[in-house]
Amino acid sequence: MLNTLIAAVRFLTRIPVPGRATTVEDLPGSIAWFPVVGALANAAVAGIAVGLALWWPPLIAAVLAVALGLLITGGFHEDACADSADGLGGGNGDRERILMIMKDSRIGAYAGMTLWVVLALRAAVLTALIALPPVIAIAGFALAGAWGRWTAAPLLRLPPLAGAGLAKDIAAGGSLAALFVATAFVALLTGVAWWLGVTRAPGMAGAALVATAVWALYLKRSLGGQCGDLLGAGNLLAEAAALLALTAGLCQAVRAD
């Protein structure tokens, strides 16, 4: 279990962790820890935003926090999302062309537009959350990260596409146990966030589940399966859905007051 936790931290972040070298065999089991690592990474970003807001206006603090968050993760999922956007946007529904474009390391117009929206949304949400009590702000943003990372567990149950690379190896060694544990973790984190005062936690869970189901259905019907870039895009899609649910609840609360 310790090796799989270390593998999850090394896989999803750029944080150096001591211990033996991680192998491909460690990665399937590490999926169970993805929600925990996602929650910790997002909690760090939200905590940074709250701290920086003591010296700078909320928007500046949020943008700086997002930038530091990219350093923590290495922009791992953002890179995957950019590749997916270029492939899906420029592939015209042709699966082979989509996969070919996704393998191109260059960034096209679709990738640029998508990254702008993803990062702008993240900064905007942090700007809004800074006005809340720090515990609620950090717990809410952390929960969105947990649900985002959780998506890898169910999406890896889809057939791997040709040239899926590491995602194919992880899927081959994966098990329902990892999916069960990951789901248990994210359910527990949802309950903790709700207990801490994130009243929209159930709504965030529902939004993430719907986003994941829609993405999985699209991948199954349109492309026939998954690969690493598409998994990363699913991560950010579910996280965005959870953040939108969180801030929609915030606006409703403000109107009620």
Q: Give pLDDT tens digits for 1-17.
A: 678 888 889 889 898 88
Which segment, 91-100, 170-179, 240-249, is predicted with the most confidence on average? 240-249
pLDDT per residue over 83-115, tens digit each? 889 888 887 777 788 888 888 778 889 999 999
26 pLDDT exceeds 80?
no
pLDDT per residue over 65-78, tens digit each? 999 999 999 988 89
Domain residue limits at 46: 28-249
Does 166 reside within a domain?
Answer: yes
Burial class (CB in 10 A: 0-12, 13-18, 19+), 59: middle
Band (pLDDT 50/70/90 cuts) for residue 167 is low
Does 193 reside within a domain?
Answer: yes
Does 243 reside within a domain?
Answer: yes
Band (pLDDT 50/70/90 cuts) for residue 46 is very high
Does 5 reside within a domain?
Answer: no
Does 10 reside within a domain?
Answer: no
- Higher pLDDT pick, 36 / 7: 36
Alpha-carbon separation of residue 153 from 183, 234, 235 (angstroms): 8, 11, 10
**Maximum Cα–Cα distance for the chain, whole Å?**
53
pLDDT of residue 255: 41
Question: d(Cα 66, Cα 125) in Å, to the nearest integer?
Answer: 11
pLDDT of residue 192: 96
pLDDT of residue 254: 41
Does 203 reside within a domain?
Answer: yes
DSSP reduced 3-state for 181: helix
What is the rounded average pLDDT of the residues 195-201?
93
- Higher pLDDT pick, 232 / 21: 232
173 pLDDT exceeds 80?
no
Question: d(Cα 167, Cα 190) in Å, to the nearest integer?
Answer: 27
In sequence order, which residues have a C-beta less than 8 Å from that of residue 196 and are 6 or more positions away?
135, 136, 139
What is the rounded average pLDDT of the residues 190-216?
95
Question: d(Cα 234, Cα 34) in Å, to the nearest integer?
Answer: 14
- For the chain, the distance separating the N- and C-terminal CA atoms, rounded to the nearest angstrom, is 46
Residue 1: what residue type? M
Which tokens is 177 given?
């146990």
Question: d(Cα 180, Cα 177) in Å, to the nearest integer?
Answer: 5
Does 256 reside within a domain?
Answer: no
Does 208 reside within a domain?
Answer: yes
Question: Domains in the chain: how many in total?
Answer: 1
pLDDT per residue over 208-236, tens digit each? 999 999 999 999 988 888 888 899 999 99
pLDDT per residue over 128-166, tens digit each? 999 999 999 999 999 999 999 999 999 988 888 866 566
